[in-house]
Amino acid sequence: MERVNYHTHTKRCKHATGEDEQYVQAAIDKGLIRLGFSDHAPFRDGRWAFSRMDYKQLPTYCEDIRALAKQYEDEIEIILGLEIEYDYDQLGYYDELLTVYDLDYLILAQHYFINMDDQEHSSFQITRPKDLVLYGESLIEAMETGIFAFVAHPDVMFNMYPAWDPICERVSRSILEAAQTLQIPIEFNANGLRKGLQPFIDEQRYPYPHLRFWQLATEYDVSVIINSDCHHYDEIYDAAVEKAYSIARQLGLRTVTQF
Ligand SMILES: [Zn+2]
Ligand SMILES: [Zn+2]
């Protein structure tokens, strides 16, 4: 299968390291045919700036990656995107990113989500069934906009969730059904595998990807994109990515390398 990665961070997000060009060189060394940069997107109001580029860096991010794309065009295809949270208040901004900034794609990632009561939630810290339900609702609402190329780690909601219960299955199925209906690919995220197996009440498992979610996914007609979600160039196509492909193969998931 051709090697690609569409989920790549840069040091601008304040928790990744290495120069942009080192990511490109690592991708070429590993034999990737296509590399998508998708750093954590800034918002105009500066929200969550501690873990993403500053809004004023957006133009140079775009210029820098486009310059690398040109410089390396004979060796690898480089495309330009951002990983971003959906907020119903920001529809105009997503449009601006895709038209004015001319990005190739936006990845949907609900690290945080804002529900209809304007309350902010962190998807990494969900421990209650009702918050799982809210996460699922916000993700599906975002998927339905048609703005996003694919969904990053749809199962990140299980990061801290204590034990599998009927709500887990219900929310998982609602997300998978939406992915099937809308034909929007979902990502099997290698960065979750890097966090290692961790003890939960009912089992040892990765915080994400949650294999029960992906077992359910085999019952649906969904496209699965495996991405590195690298925050260092050594992770571009490392053992975690290889492991992700092998788990996906064992489960029988339909992996795709384009969207
Ligand atoms: Zn990150
Ligand atoms: Zn990411």
Mean pLDDT across 154-179: 98
Q: What pLDDT was estimated at residue 33?
A: 98
Per-residue pLDDT at 115: 80
pLDDT, tens only, 207-257:
999 999 999 999 999 999 999 999 999 999 999 999 999 999 999 999 999
Average of per-residue pLDDT values in the chain:
97
| Local structure of residue 230 (DSSP, 8 states) | B
Task: Tell me the CA–centroid distance for residue 60 and ligand 1, in Å.
Answer: 19
C-beta of residue 208 within 8 angstroms of C-beta of residue 156: yes
Reply yes or no on whether the pLDDT at 119 is more than 90. Answer: no
How far apart, in whole angstroms, are the C-alpha atoms of residue 64 and residue 70? 10
pLDDT band, residue 117 (cuts 50/70/90): confident
Ligand located closest to 231 CA: 1
Q: Give yes or no for residue 116 having a pLDDT over 80.
A: no
Average the pLDDT over 105-132 and give the result. 92
Ligand 1 centroid – CA 15 distance (Å): 6
In one letter, which amino acid is 22? Q
- Residue 165 CB neighbours (<10 A): 12
Cross-strand bridge partners of residue 179: none
**80-100 per-residue burial string, b: 16 or more CB within 10 A, e: under 16:** bbbbbbbbeebeebbeebbee
Cα 10 to ligand 1 centre (Å): 9
Burial profile 191-227: b = 16 or more Cβ within 10 angstroms, e = fewer: bbbbeeeeebeeeebbbbbbbbbbebbeebebbbbbb
* pLDDT tens figures, 7-54: 999 999 999 999 999 999 999 999 999 999 999 999 999 999 999 999
Give the ligand at the shortest distance from the Cα of 152. Answer: 2
Nearest ligand (C-alpha, residue 16): 1
What per-residue confidence (pLDDT) applies to 118? 80
pLDDT at 248: 98
What domains appear along the chain, each with residue ranges and CATH number?
4-251 (3.20.20.140)
Count CB-CB contacts under 10 A for residue 42: 23
Q: Cα(9) to centroid of ligand 2, in Å? A: 7
3-state secondary structure of 221: coil
Residue 236 near residue 243 (C-beta atoms within 8 A): no
Angle between helices 129-144 and 166-182 (to 10 degrees): 0
At 1, the pLDDT band (50, 70, 90 cuts) reads: confident
Cα 153 to averaged position of ligand 2 atoms, centre (Å): 9
How many residues are recorded in the chain? 259
Percent of the chain with pLDDT over 90: 96
Q: Quick one: which ligand is closest to 50's CA?
A: 1
- Look at residue 60 and tell me whether its pLDDT is greater than 80: yes
Cα–ligand 2 centroid distance for 109 (angstroms): 8
Hey, what amino acid is at 132? L
> pLDDT at position 179, please?
98
Once rounded to an integer, what is the mean pLDDT over residues 69-85?
98
